């Protein structure tokens, strides 16, 4: 058992899979000599060499195009887009080529490709470098979408993503890079499409993703002091979505709160809300409540960014107010 922080877990998970599969390669800006702008690939160049850990020009289209071509010819590939905001630059390739290749070739071509990217706010990087864009990718048929909240989940879900024959967009949250966790010895492999109940409860269900998970847990601790037992679910993967766990929890507690860092309009919580309303409406004891970032460009000013992104205080206050 060892303790690693979230950024170290990224390198650990990639190294585990590169040792396992000698064909696996990684492409991205500053991932080799520099060890990544967020230091998530430190040591990989030294162990695996420049043929497998390749620095690229500053061109998201070149990174995705090269990685997609390699994957389609049978070379499993990890492509890093430094900031998730710049998925927009290469979104045509991701949405219209990578996501659709298996379908449009009748299954003759698979795309074993993981697109890693740093997501989310909290670092004062401003509106062009702080967005949570997981819902952009969630809406595209053919893409799987992963967003871990803990170091051990980073490793296990990274392994599952790399071993999947289809393209996966893997969101690493910038504000979680310094967080630490215990890592078991040996190989760690998780399963895509499984949510985690990270706190048991009976009075309400709080569903969260990535950075919002520790904030939801903090709020749940405070709610417990007020006699409200909150169950907290870490969604972990948006596609495939673990509806069984989500619906089972809401049916038990009778109340649902989603805690979303993405902007409110068309956020991932809206889809979960829709599913819950369709499947377990008669088990609800009150209206579903979404706690989100407002539909605005994210500010870079410290006070304004903190005000926009859901906090543990906002989660706590919202639950207390809505439950009376």
Q: Which residues are catalytic?
A: 129
Tell me how far apart the alpha carbons of residues 58 and 28 are, in angstroms, rounded to a whole number. 8
> 3-state secondary structure string, 83-96?
EHHHHHHHHHHHHH
Residue linked to tokens 């269900």: 205
Sheet holding 256-263, edge to edge: 196-199, 230-234, 204-208, 256-263, 289-293
Tell me how far apart the alpha carbons of residues 313 and 172 are, in angstroms, rounded to a whole number. 24
Q: How far is CA 29 from the centre of its chain?
A: 20
Number of other CB atoms surrounding residue 151 within 10 Å: 26
Tell me how far apart the alpha carbons of residues 263 and 239 are, in angstroms, rounded to a whole number. 19
CA dihedral 198, 203, 206, 207 (to 10 degrees): 70
């Amino acid at each position: 058992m060892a303790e690693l922080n979230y950024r170290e877990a990224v390198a650990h998970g990639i190294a585990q899979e590169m040792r396992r599969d000698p064909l696996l390669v990684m492409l991205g800006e500053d991932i080799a000599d520099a060890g990544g702008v967020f230091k998530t690939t430190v040591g990989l160049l030294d162990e695996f060499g420049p043929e497998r850990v390749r620095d690229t020009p500053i061109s998201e289209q070149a990174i995705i195009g090269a990685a997609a071509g390699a994957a389609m010819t049978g070379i499993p590939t990890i492509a890093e887009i430094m900031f998730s905001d710049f998925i927009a630059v290469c979104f045509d390739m991701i949405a219209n080529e990578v996501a659709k290749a298996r379908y449009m070739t009748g299954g003759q071509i698979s795309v074993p490709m993981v697109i890693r990217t740093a997501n989310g706010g909290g670092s004062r990087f401003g509106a062009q470098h702080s967005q949570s864009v997981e819902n952009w990718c969630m809406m595209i048929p053919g893409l799987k979408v992963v967003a871990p909240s803990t170091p051990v989940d980073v490793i296990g879900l990274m392994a599952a993503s790399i071993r999947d024959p289809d393209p996966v967009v893997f969101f690493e949250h910038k504000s979680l890079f310094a967080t630490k966790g215990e890592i078991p010895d040996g190989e760690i492999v998780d399963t895509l499409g499984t949510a985690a109940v990270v706190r048991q409860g009976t009075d309400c269900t709080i569903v969260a993703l990535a950075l919002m998970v520790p904030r939801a847990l903090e709020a749940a601790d405070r709610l417990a002091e007020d006699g409200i037992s909150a169950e907290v679910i870490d969604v972990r993967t948006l596609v495939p979505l673990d509806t069984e766990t989500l619906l089972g929890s809401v049916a038990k507690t009778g109340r649902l709160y989603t805690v979303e860092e993405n902007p409110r309009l068309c956020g991932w919580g809206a889809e979960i809300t829709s599913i819950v309303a369709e499947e377990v409406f008669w088990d609800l004891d009150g209206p579903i409540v979404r706690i989100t970032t407002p539909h605005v460009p994210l500010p870079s000013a410290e006070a304004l960014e903190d005000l926009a992104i859901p906090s543990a205080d906002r989660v706590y206050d919202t639950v207390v107010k809505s439950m009376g």
